[in-house]
Amino acid sequence: MHLGDEFPVLGNWFYIHFVENPGMAFGMEFGGDWGKLALSLFRIIAVFGIGYYLFKLAKDAHKGFKICVALIFAGAIGNIIDSAFYGLIFNESFNQIASFMPAEGGYASFLHGRVVDMFWFPLFEGNFPEWMPIWGGEHFLFFRPVFNVADAAISIGIALIFMFNKRFFNKDEQKVEFETEESIETK
């Protein structure tokens, strides 16, 4: 599969679309090689922080919240592994099919590789109405980002935390739950 190739999976609303993402979310980059290194190091530090936080949550937090943090943790590790090693084990895929473990080596050094994104859901497209300020008459495609499994895990974990934050962080409910467990243990 070549960079930018796509093939439909379910009609015209779900495609496998091969993209190598050189930066962070939605392909944003900063600072060239030094920026990529800083981003990779930040990701590693963040994963250690999230891992430590998840370890500390082991007893006291709501089970659903722990699952959400674990999704974020796993997704972050997946993206780190991809950016750390993909450039080492594959050659450049621009206008060609990348080779695994090429004799001349990969296209990037450790922590400077790209993250492979492949899922694309262009749900609908059209033109903004002419009367709309700023974007009037311009073409739009709803849900343009191409993403991978790790991105989906991170996004789902964060979305669920926002959706269920009252349940995850409700002190009164947790206190009642704790008191109920305590009364059962004393009997």
pLDDT tens-digit readout, 83-98 = 888 888 888 876 677 7
What's the pLDDT at 3?
58
Catalytic residue numbers? Answer: 117, 151
- The tens digit of pLDDT for each residue in 95-134 reads 677 778 888 888 888 888 888 888 988 888 889 999 989 9
pLDDT computed for residue 28 by the predictor = 66
> What pTM does this model have?
0.77
What is the block-wise mean pLDDT of the chain (187 residues), using blocks of 10 residues? 71 85 70 80 91 83 90 92 88 76 84 86 88 89 87 94 88 55 58
**At residue 67, what is the residue type?**
I
Give the pLDDT confidence score for residue 172 in this predicted structure: 62
